[in-house]
Structure 1
Amino acid sequence: MKLYSKLVFLACSLAVIACNQPNTTKNEKTDPAEQRRLDSLDAVKKAEEEAKKKPRTAEDIKLSKELSYDKHTLEDSYSYKDTSRVFQLDKIKERLAFVENFQRAPASYVVLQNHKNKNQEAPLVKKYRRNEYTRISDTLGNERYQSAPLYVPGETERPTVYGRDGFLAKLRSSDTLDMVKVEGVSFEGTWEAPKRYVKALGDSVDFHHVVFVDVTNQNIMTVERTGDCDWVIRSMNPATTGRHKPPYAQETPTGVYVVQEKKTKMYYYKDGTTNIEGYAPYASRFTNGAYVHGVPVNNPKGSIIEYSWSLGTTPRSHMCVRNASSHAKFVFDWAKKFNALVIVID
């Protein structure tokens, strides 16, 4: 009996000692790298929650004029024929508030890419139609050609909508070897997309340079972020956007896009052929075959033309945004690839 009592006492003593010891097993499992990852995720979550509480509005945006490019400059409001045109500053401030808001929380960004179907033609969506250009598009009007398929999470048999080439999103997870989950910035909702259509930009990128294209007033403005809700106008110029004229010319599509590619000379074909008709200087591509570029030269070996009477008049390009050539060069140098946005408004 005495031996039993001693054993019980010893067991209880060991239990007390064990309870007072640090949980070394748990600490061993959580290594420093894993702990940093967990801390980072926690910081992102807290930042996202804070951003949702007090979203920026157009009234918070301070927009001043400090031109870096001062040729062919237009005023805020200016005459056009028997009417007047404007830079839609209220709408621009709304979009800048949107840019401020989506960047308030740390994120890993991606851009959807499928220029000329280089990553494979997207599968047919569940519901589609054929437009005036004889191309298939989804119910939102996004064409299958040059787009990425977007699937409802967990339903990967057929996509629901298309995401345009150049659309910006946030990477949410990489669930399988072939698919990733993305949350739209340029589009709404959370979707799954095949990895081959998604280019990772990382979590260190910021979007402090924005090119605004107005398809209604036929003008272009560049703005740069200099502080929290502080933006400065770098240029204000006439432009000419895409027109609706099947089967070749298409409107410049509204939306938020990432600058993806640069060409000092963007050669183009004569409609309906594969014959090079000419080139456009200092071209910055943002979606599909749409570039911000200088005045077209209808001669592959011709000299650059600085200005055209047609700038700032009516839509007349194939989808691109024409500028004075020196302004196109300014945009070419100023708006870095995968680090600047083109926002097309109406």
Structure 2
Amino acid sequence: MTIKNHILLITLFSVLFSVTSCNEKPAAIVQEVQDTVKTIVEDEKPKSIDPASIKIEKALLYDEHTLEDTYPYKDTTRVFQWDKIRKGLAFVDSIHNESSSWAVLQNYKNLNGEAPLVKNYKRNAYTRIADSLGVERYQSVPLFSINDSTQAEFYGRDGWLVRYIKEEGTFDKITTISLAGEWLVPKKYVKQLSDTVIFNNAIFVDVTNQNITTLERTDTAWLVRSMNPATTGRHNPPHMQETPTGIFILQEKKAKMIYLVDGSSEVGGFAPYASRFTNGAYIHGIPVNAPGTQMIEYSASLGTTPRSHMCVRNATSHAKFVYGWAPTLATLVFVID
């Protein structure tokens, strides 16, 4: 609830108590206050936005390797899924109509502690523990039922955008975008975002069509800033994983993200202009294998089939654009299929 409405409610109740103490038609006053409170509460509810009403205009800031809305690929065509993108943008616009607080779940490389076992778990194709929905324990965050804080029900992904409700003892109460209901999460895994955060930057990664687009919010429309080919993560145990779908917060940036040779501690090379959004998944440029040091602009494999370890591979100049354009903890990354 906004500060303005808090003040209004306090004033109304003060008037109520003042008037009723003088026996001046309390029933009528009570009804008037109840009606006013109802109006305030209804005003505070998030207002649904029709995705069809979202206005998108092309105003590219990065115009290299640009794709069309529909483009050929082998014996078929690929597209930018503007219907799904509009739904995502409608969600972002609805956020700005709310007075909610937002947060991001964080546990990169288990830095905030390994999540406890969930009630129902299994070992996946990578021999790692995962919950019943397939989310791995490693680098994830435990989600406890509000009725049982002794054992977690599910894992929340590192980087998930969540709605922050309130503090409850050693837990924070949240709601997620993908799981219904309210959840309790140990405080150490929850980073509250600034009350003044505005999500004006959105990135959409399409794992089906192997493309990426960036959009920027203005007062009148969402402006398309780039439309490019990309390569996402491939399911190939034990080292390569799909890029997970969902809504994430851009968490950190590295000018050079050092990577290791699979299954060893040997440096394998670096990926330039890396922007991380979940686990070890970065939006980055073309990898440079050791001992090479010269950046590579483009690869013919971009926009073809998934082939990375989880990351979203881009032309290096586009990765550089994203690196400079998208602010951390204020940019949403939508991974769609």
TM bucket by the smaller chain? 0.7 to 0.9
- Counterpart CA distance in 2 for 1:296 and 1:46 is 51
CA contact (8 A) 1:151 1:161 kept: yes
- Letter aligned with residue 279 of structure 1: F
List runs of 5+ in structure 2 lacking aligned partners: 1-20, 23-36
* Corresponding residue number in structure 2 for 1:195: 187
* Corresponding residue number in structure 2 for 1:99: 92
CA shift, 1:187, in A, is: 4.0
- Which of 230, 235, 250 is 1:244 aligned to? 235
- Letter aligned with residue 58 of structure 2: K
CA shift, 1:320, in A, is: 0.2
CA shift, 1:145, in A, is: 0.6
* Corresponding residue number in structure 2 for 1:323: 314
Larger Rg: 1
CA shift, 1:103, in A, is: 3.2
What is the DSSP-based 3-state SS (H/G/I as helix, E as strand, rest coil) of the residue aligned with 1:256?
strand
* Corresponding residue number in structure 2 for 1:32: none
What is the DSSP-based 3-state SS (H/G/I as helix, E as strand, rest coil) of the residue aligned with 1:151?
strand
CA shift, 1:186, in A, is: 5.0
What is the DSSP-based 3-state SS (H/G/I as helix, E as strand, rest coil) of the residue aligned with 1:302?
coil
CA contact (8 A) 1:276 1:300 kept: no
- Which of 39, 44, 48 is 1:48 aligned to? 44
- Which of 145, 149, 158 is 1:165 aligned to? 158
- Which of 130, 135, 138 is 1:145 aligned to? 138
- Which of 291, 303, 306 is 1:312 aligned to? 303
- Counterpart CA distance in 2 for 1:195 and 1:141 is 24
Equivalences for 1:72-83 in 2 at 5 Å? 72-83=65-76
**TM-aligned CA distance change 1:44 to 1:85, over 3 Å:** farther
CA contact (8 A) 1:279 1:300 kept: no
CA shift, 1:256, in A, is: 0.4
* Corresponding residue number in structure 1 for 2:252: 261
* Corresponding residue number in structure 2 for 1:344: 335
* Corresponding residue number in structure 2 for 1:233: 224
**TM-aligned CA distance change 1:251 to 1:130, over 3 Å:** same
* Corresponding residue number in structure 2 for 1:28: none
CA contact (8 A) 1:167 1:186 kept: no
* Corresponding residue number in structure 1 for 2:52: 59
TM-score by length of 2: 0.87
- Counterpart CA distance in 1 for 2:108 and 2:229 is 27
* Corresponding residue number in structure 2 for 1:287: 278
- Counterpart CA distance in 2 for 1:43 and 1:334 is 40
- Number of residue pairs aligned between Structure 1 and Structure 2: 305
**TM-aligned CA distance change 1:141 to 1:47, over 3 Å:** farther
RMSD across aligned positions (CA): 2.0
* Corresponding residue number in structure 1 for 2:4: none
- Counterpart CA distance in 1 for 2:99 and 2:38 is 11
Matched, 1:224 2:216: yes
* Corresponding residue number in structure 2 for 1:31: none
- Which of 193, 213, 217 is 2:205 aligned to? 213
Q: Deviations over 1:210-248 (max 9, x none)?
A: 1100001100000111126x2110000000000000000
What is the DSSP-based 3-state SS (H/G/I as helix, E as strand, rest coil) of the residue aligned with 2:283?
strand
Q: Deviations over 1:274-302 (max 9, x none)?
A: 10010000000000000000000002551
CA contact (8 A) 1:47 1:106 kept: no
Which of 200-209 and 320-329 deviates more?
200-209
- Counterpart CA distance in 2 for 1:128 and 1:44 is 44
What is the DSSP-based 3-state SS (H/G/I as helix, E as strand, rest coil) of the residue aligned with 1:304?
coil
CA shift, 1:139, in A, is: 1.2
What is the DSSP-based 3-state SS (H/G/I as helix, E as strand, rest coil) of the residue aligned with 2:225?
strand
* Corresponding residue number in structure 1 for 2:120: 127
**TM-aligned CA distance change 1:260 to 1:134, over 3 Å:** same
CA contact (8 A) 1:267 1:300 kept: no
Matched, 1:204 2:199: no
Instruction: Give the share of equivalent positions with the same residue, in percent.
Output: 57
TM-score by length of 1: 0.84
Q: Deviations over 1:54-77 (max 9, x none)?
A: x11221111110001000000001
